[in-house]
Amino acid sequence: MIDAPLFYLVAVPAVLLAGISKGGFGGGLGVLAVPLMALFVSPLQAAAIMLPILCTMDLFNIWAYWRRWDLKALLIVGSGAMIGIAVGTLSFRYLEPWAIRLLIGAIAVGFALNAWLKPGRTDAGPRPHSWPRGSFWGGVAGFTSFVAHAGGPPVNMYLLNQRMEKTRYQATTVIFFLVINYVKLVPYSWLGQFTLSNLATSAALLPAAVAGILAGVWVHDRVPQALFFRLCYLLLFLSGLKLLWDGLAGLL
């Protein structure tokens, strides 16, 4: 197990924040955990440590939002995500993480700014689903989730634009990430990412993950819908800024 105190000083708050975000607000800030851990370990090791934690979070989340999701949205984004994960697996050794972070960060920031500049859009009624749009963003989410557990911004670019009721939206993101995170266990194992040290570190961080999920569910039930979606767009914007920062740091 990693025994550096500074690692846990950063990792515990990062996992707690990721749990709150996943439990209550669609998981936007979950992208922060891997970059923060990567201050002390390699990005690949940070991603391997986070995956079992995310899978555990998903089990707690599914209990809170059981059968409240949008099945058609799941089929659309989920089909694209499977292709994205396959592409990520095959290109894993040739990827430039900074370029992926720059691209996704720019799109996430632009999407949030576009929503803010058009008042009233997030409070309008639901929109009809689009297979081309949804499967595209699902594919991007599957790919970026495989690379750095950064699938939240891409999938939110589709789901937030559908203007679902807040709990339906949250439940849809929960089951989406449960499926793709458990699918990712197979290629991560095949690529040799689950060492005893990584798994022991994941286990040490699990209490923070569970506490974060429970706090996120508690907050979700007490936040009005209009405020909820404003917070979701804010989280999307902040996570996009973080990805841009990490991408520029990698480029320079």
DSSP 85-129: HHHHHHTGGG--HHHHHHHHHHHHHHHHHHHHTSTTGGGS-----
Higher pLDDT, 202 or 91: 202
pTM flag (> 0.85)? no
Most confident of 64-68, 114-118, 132-136: 132-136
Q: Rounded to the nearest 10 degrees, what angle do helices 196-220 and 166-190 cross at? A: 180
Going by pLDDT thresholds of 50, 70 and 90, the confidence category of residue 28 is low
For 203-239, write each residue's pLDDT tens digit. Answer: 999 999 999 999 988 988 888 877 877 887 787 788 7
- Pick from 46-60, 160-174, 194-208, 227-241: least confident: 227-241
**10-39: b (≥16 Cβ within 10 Å) or e:** bbbebbbbbbbbbbbbbbbbbbbbbbbbbe
In Å, how far from its chain's centre is CA 236?
10
- Pick from 84-98, 114-128, 198-212, 236-250: least confident: 114-128
Residue 151 DSSP symbol: -
CA angle 144, 153, 206 (to 5 degrees): 75
Q: What is the residue type of 40?
A: F
Higher pLDDT, 56 or 17: 56
